[in-house]
Amino acid sequence: MPHILAINGSPRRDLGRSYQILTEILSGAAAAGAETEILHLIDEEPSYCVHCGHDCFGDGDCIQEVEATERSRRVEGADALIVCAPVYCWQPNGLTAAFFDKLRLLTGSWNRGSEHGRPALGIAVAGGTGTGVFSTLQSVYAWLCLWKFRPLDPLPITRFNMERVLIEAAGLGKALAEREPLPYEGTWETLLTYDRLPYMDYGRVDEFRWLAAQIVEGLQARQQRPPAEAPQPSNEGQSEAAIREMQRLLYEARVRAIQGDPEGEAKKCVLAYRLGAKVW
């Protein structure tokens, strides 16, 4: 049976959204016959690379931190990998960054052959405003491709889409458990794989547009449920009017984009997002 290792970058360990989504995904993987494991980085207390000059990319060892070498071997021994990174200030949090700093696979990075092509999934969890989810995913997926994992589509999570993602989480785990390794044909394919993934070309305005659309979808879903089955917006009476206004602003943003007016597009996307976040 395949062994799936999930890296939990949240300092809250088994609390919060990161752990919640990981357990749902891994339950789907286990139901598909996989053996699953979560590595909580807060338990590891990884230290940062100090660029000591040792040939760690050659022999795979960190002479400064034996635990870093052990983490690398655990990742190397897994048949599939999940990396779940909380978003801090529009980037992966420090625990995840420290883990990235010192991981070394004996199969080498992008410029040493094309093996191994093992499947992987990257997750970014942005609480609060939800912003920074795509810049974090871009960092996570650059790392996955650098180490020659064959990634599934990125998974952005915010408080605005968490409920819907949880419904699909078990299916993601099943897909990961059933995916076979597929080594890259060469560096050129690794580069194209990254560039062709969803969201890898998203900028900040794209993110605000996406967030606003997620809020609209979430508010519409709430309206279709009995009050006892879903949390309601704090100002529920305004939600229907807000949805219409947000849809208008997003439509006008598309018009501004077509007209070659990026400033006008950005203003409309931000207005739509702020209105939605207020109503949420």
Give yes or no: residues 176 and 242 share one domain. no
- What pLDDT, in 10s, does the model give residues 132-177? 999 999 999 999 999 999 999 999 999 999 999 999 999 999 999 9
- CA-CA distance, 82 to 85, in Å (whole number)? 10
Chosen domain end from 196, 226, 257: 196
Q: What is the CATH number of the domain that holds 171?
A: 3.40.50.360
- CA-CA distance, 103 to 98, in Å (whole number)? 9
- What pLDDT, in 10s, does the model give residues 241-280? 999 999 999 999 999 999 999 999 999 999 999 999 999 9
Give yes or no: residues 185 and 256 share one domain. no
Give yes or no: residues 182 and 215 share one domain. no
Residue 100 sits in which domain range? 3-196
Quick check: 51 pLDDT over 70?
yes
- What pLDDT, in 10s, does the model give residues 185-224? 999 999 999 999 999 999 999 999 999 999 999 999 988 8
Instruction: Return the pLDDT at 13.
Output: 94
Decide: 280 and 160 in contact? Cβ < 8 Å.
Answer: yes
Closest alpha carbon to 222 in 211, 234, 230? 230
Distance of CA 278 to the CA centre of its chain: 25
Closest alpha carbon to 278 in 241, 230, 231, 234? 234
* DSSP summary character for residue 117: -
Give yes or no: residues 11 and 134 share one domain. yes
* Mean pLDDT confidence for 52-74: 95
Quick check: 114 pLDDT over 70?
yes
Chosen domain end from 179, 196, 213: 196
Give yes or no: residues 184 and 214 share one domain. no
Between 234 and 93, residue with greater pLDDT: 93
Give yes or no: residues 38 and 126 share one domain. yes
Quick check: 231 pLDDT over 60?
no
Give me the number of domains the chain comprises.
2
Give yes or no: residues 112 and 19 share one domain. yes
Give yes or no: residues 223 and 192 share one domain. no
Quick check: 18 pLDDT over 60?
yes
CA separation, residue 144 to residues 120, 128, 140, 255 (Å): 8, 26, 6, 36
Give yes or no: residues 213 and 169 share one domain. no
Give yes or no: residues 177 and 240 share one domain. no
Give yes or no: residues 239 and 187 share one domain. no
Instruction: Return the pLDDT at 60.
Output: 93
* Burial environment of residue 124 by CB neighbours within 10 A (0 to 12, 13 to 18, 19 or more): buried
Q: Which amino acid belongs to residue 103?
A: L
Chosen domain end from 196, 218, 244: 196
Instruction: Return the pLDDT at 222.
Output: 86
Give yes or no: residues 34 and 89 share one domain. yes
Using pLDDT thresholds of 50, 70 and 90, give the confidence band for residue 225: confident
Decide: 10 and 125 in contact? Cβ < 8 Å.
Answer: yes
Other Cβ atoms closer than 10 A to 229: 8
Indicate whether this model's pTM tops 0.85: yes
Other Cβ atoms closer than 10 A to 248: 12
Using pLDDT thresholds of 50, 70 and 90, give the confidence band for residue 1: confident
Packing angle of the helix pair 162-178, 16-31 (nearest 10 deg)? 40
